[in-house]
């Protein structure tokens, strides 16, 4: 996949130095930000703090949710029925958009994309990777998803049904990957190490049990 | 929660509304038929919210599932492959009714 160098995400105003000429949207964001500060709606410090807060969010929350679901079938059922309530059970603040969990099985695989912009379950996965926001991923994930998966190294058997979900509106989608073989009896903290960000977007399976270095 | 105009399993067609500016219905599903999988809830209309209105009353948002082979004639993959898209109620009509025709087609 081509990697998008565009960091101009409207949720994530970066007042840092640019490695490319300033674009029109960046100029607009900068003008709006200056006005908000000048008129006293926000302080520069508040903006910096928010950026740092988002930069520190990772996909660890999502991994914790998946590992908990792998270890607890009753929790998995609650997660699939109402993901906002189920994630709140784990103390995660998911008061924003509606979250929907999609369970992968041996015969069914889910892939998440936002063709219109970069909608992403940020409350669970942090900020989306650059490729998720690229025009290439956003267009090809809907029109030739199996080829896109293959480029991520995920060879989907022909008889596995592929369901792409385009998060166009008020819902955010979390893929619940399959639990790797050979992890019977593992505790949740150990299981969580196998839950990669990409597996919760659906471009890859969870990491194999053998990928963990011996403790 | 009441189901709104479309029950799960309903065959619907995505309208090709002449909406300019911000909207949440991708062009690749317009004019196409799909099945309502479920009602996701009711949410303020993003087309109104983008321009300073409240978007109220909220509109029903449906997860609509399309067969990949219906959307992309050249689709390479399993016949069972699908794509699901969240679509607001005013973009949907019962299949076989309404205009259902792509503009310029």
B63 to A171: CB separation less than 8 angstroms, yes or no: yes
Q: How confident is the model at residue A5 (pLDDT cuts 50, 70, 90)?
A: very low
Which domains are delineated in chain B?
11-94 (2.30.30.50)
The verdict on A163 touching B (C-beta cutoff 8 Å) is: yes
In a domain, A14, yes or no: no
A165 to B81: CB separation less than 8 angstroms, yes or no: no
What's the whole-number mean pLDDT along residues A68-74?
Answer: 98
To the query of whether residue A117 is one of the catalytic residues in this protein, the response is yes
β-strands B11-14, B33-43 pairing: antiparallel
The verdict on A170 touching B (C-beta cutoff 8 Å) is: yes
Q: Which of A5, A34, A56 is the last residue of a domain?
A: A56
A168 to B63: CB separation less than 8 angstroms, yes or no: no
What's the whole-number mean pLDDT along residues A5-24?
Answer: 57
Examine the domain organization and report whether A44 and A64 are in the same domain.
no
**Rounded to the nearest 10 degrees, how much is the dihedral formed by the CA atoms of A90, A91, A92, A95?**
120
The pLDDT score that the predictor gives to residue A9 is 43
What are residue B59's DSSP bridge partners? B43
The pLDDT score that the predictor gives to residue A8 is 41
Burial annotation B51-81 (CB, 10 A radius, 16+ → b, else e): eeeebeeebbbbbbbbbbbebbeebebbeeb
The pLDDT score that the predictor gives to residue B16 is 93
Assess whether pLDDT exceeds 50 at residue B41.
yes
The pLDDT score that the predictor gives to residue A214 is 67
pLDDT in tens, A113-153: 999 999 999 999 999 999 999 999 999 999 999 999 999 99
In a domain, A38, yes or no: yes
Kindly report whether the global pTM for this prediction surpasses the value 0.90: no
Place of tokens 């603040």: A93
In a domain, A65, yes or no: yes
Q: Let me know: does A126 contact A58? Beta carbons within 8 Å.
A: yes
Examine the domain organization and report whether A34 and A76 are in the same domain.
no
Residue A143: which CATH number? Answer: 3.90.330.10
Q: Which of A14, A33, A56 is the last residue of a domain?
A: A56
Comparing CA positions, the residue from A2, A7, A20 lying closest to residue A131 is: A2
In a domain, A131, yes or no: yes
Residue A136 structural domain: 60-210
Work out the percent of chain A whose per-residue pLDDT is above 70: 90
pLDDT in tens, A55-67: 888 999 999 999 9
């Amino acid at each position: 996949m081509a990697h998008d160098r565009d960091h101009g995400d409207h949720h994530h105003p970066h007042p840092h130095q640019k490695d490319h000429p300033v674009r029109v949207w960046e100029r607009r964001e900068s003008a709006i930000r200056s006005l908000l500060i000048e008129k006293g709606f926000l302080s520069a410090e508040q903006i910096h703090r928010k950026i740092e807060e988002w930069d520190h969010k990772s996909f660890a929350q999502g991994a914790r949710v998946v590992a908990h679901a792998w270890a607890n079938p009753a929790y998995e059922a609650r997660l699939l029925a109402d993901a906002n309530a189920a994630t709140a059970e784990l103390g995660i603040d998911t008061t924003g958009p509606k979250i929907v969990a999609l369970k992968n099985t041996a015969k069914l695989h889910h892939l998440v994309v936002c063709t219109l912009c970069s909608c992403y379950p940020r409350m669970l996965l942090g900020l989306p990777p650059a490729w998720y926001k690229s025009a290439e991923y956003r267009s090809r994930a809907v029109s030739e998803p199996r080829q896109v998966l293959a480029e991520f190294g995920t060879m989907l058997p022909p008889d596995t049904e592929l369901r792409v979900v385009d998060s166009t509106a008020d819902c955010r989608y979390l893929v619940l990957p399959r639990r790797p073989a050979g992890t019977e009896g593992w505790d949740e903290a150990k299981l969580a190490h196998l839950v990669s960000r990409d597996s919760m977007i659906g471009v890859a399976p969870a990491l194999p049990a053998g990928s963990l270095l011996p403790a | 929660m009441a189901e709104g105009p479309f029950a799960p399993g309903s065959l619907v067609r995505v309208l090709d509304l002449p909406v300019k500016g911000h909207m949440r219905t991708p062009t690749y599903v317009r004019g196409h038929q799909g099945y309502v999988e479920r009602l996701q809830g009711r949410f303020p209309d993003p087309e109104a919210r983008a321009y300073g209105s409240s978007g109220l009353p909220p509109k029903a948002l449906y997860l609509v599932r399309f067969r990949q082979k219906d959307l992309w004639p050249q689709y390479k993959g399993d016949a069972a492959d699908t794509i699901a898209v969240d679509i607001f109620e005013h973009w949907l009509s019962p299949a076989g009714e309404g205009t259902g025709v792509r503009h310029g087609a």
